[in-house]
Chain A
Amino acid sequence: MTPRLYLLQRGTAFVMVPLVIVHLAVIMIAIQGGLTAEEILARTRGSVSWALFYGLFVLAASLHAGIGMQAISREWFGLGQRAAAISGHVFILLLLVLGLRAVVGVYGI
């Protein structure tokens, strides 16, 4: 792992610390008394700030996990450097597509 990848992985972890705390706190606070999917969507749709919040979350999580996947591919699956890098990029793309699709769906932007 090069210093740039190391910085990117640690940096995205750092970015995710407050995001995870807010994410969990909102879940715990909002769920009290029960929430239906319709009620959730009524609150989230059209909210640019939540869309940006979770857009950033998806971006940080995808990069963080993709770099981790590269290391796992190299160390546990025995792939070569190039194949491991490809697996990392594919994983980043997969998480980005799935995550951003969810953001678009929930926030309706």
Chain B
Amino acid sequence: MSAGTNNALQVKVWRGDADGAYESYEVPQQENQTVLDVVTYIQRHLDAALAYRFACRVGVCGSCAMTVNGRPRWTCRTHVSRVAQNGTLEIAPLQNLPVIRDLVTDMTPFFEKWQEARGRFVPGEGPRDTLAQVPPEQTERAAASAAIECINCGVCYSACDVVAWREDYLGPAALNRAWAAYNDVRDGDRTGVLKAVSAASGCNNCHTHQSCAEHCPVTLNPTFSIAGLKRATLKASLKGEL
């Protein structure tokens, strides 16, 4: 690391599995230092056994999310100067997911729920004679565009109160993805999305706390998507389509 200020950060990092504990480290403070830089410094210079996950370092891959001073964040784009409190950081794994070790969570339940919410494309029957025409100004296309840039980081899932309360709830990311899939007019079974998200564990459990929208690092609004699913499932239910 290049030389910066001489101040040292006091960093507490979660070690072990769910029954683990915080360990304290002292990390040199730099200008323009991200939380991921801090974790990497600890792993490279202080404790090589520290387990954490990252890949792109530029806010694209969504793999470095952790709980920083109590809030879920993407650590590669979170500057220490913005989140440190009196020169201290407390870094823990994401909440609402099983902890494998240290800062690494098991994302399996998170992605299983994407499948459960039918957040994937289902093609229509047979080959098309022409390519689907989807004008950018189309209502469905605009709704899908607003929801589609999710980086799958799990921050919203970790921030959601309802996920914390009932573990079967599909959660904001999967439902946001389902809303994008539902608004894909090329999809061969859009009602199938509504059937999936209207299950007992589905979209109607959302309390509209908006923690997902508050914490989403790429400023998506899953609460808005879930509200759209609530309206769509209600209409479909009244028409007897579900």
Question: Which residues of A come within 8 Å of B, CB atoms?
Answer: 1-7, 71, 74-76, 81
Contact = CB atoms under 8 A, between A and B. Distances in A.
B165 A3 contact: no
B205 A71 contact: yes
By Cβ-Cβ distance, the 3 closest A-B pairs, closest first, are A75-B165, A3-B237, A1-B204
Nearest to A1: B204
Contact of B234 (A3, A71, A75, A81): A3
B204 A5 contact: yes
Contacts of A7: 234, 237-238
B230 interface: yes
Given A2-B204, A75-B166, 4 more contacts: A1-B202, A3-B242, A74-B166, A75-B162
B233 interface: yes
How many interface residues does chain B have, given as a range?
10 to 19
DSSP class of A's interface residues: helix, strand, loop or mixed?
Answer: helix
B30 interface: no
11 contacts: A2-B200, A2-B237, A3-B204, A3-B230, A3-B234, A3-B237, A7-B238, A71-B205, A74-B165, A75-B162, A81-B200
B198 interface: yes
Contacts of A6: 204, 230, 233-234
A76 B165 contact: yes
Contacts of B233: 3, 6
Contacts of B234: 3, 6-7
A9 to B, nearest CB: 9
Contacts of B242: 3
B173 to A, nearest CB: 19
Contacts of A2: 198-200, 204, 237
A3 B205 CA distance: 10
B11 to A, nearest CB: 34
A7 B240 CA distance: 13
B20 to A, nearest CB: 24
Contacts of B205: 1, 71
Contacts of B230: 3, 6
Contacts of B237: 2-4, 7
A57 B172 CA distance: 35
B195 to A, nearest CB: 10
A71 B59 CA distance: 36
A2 B229 CA distance: 12
A3 B203 CA distance: 9
A4 B238 CA distance: 8
Contacts of B238: 7
A74 B200 CA distance: 11
B242 to A, nearest CB: 7
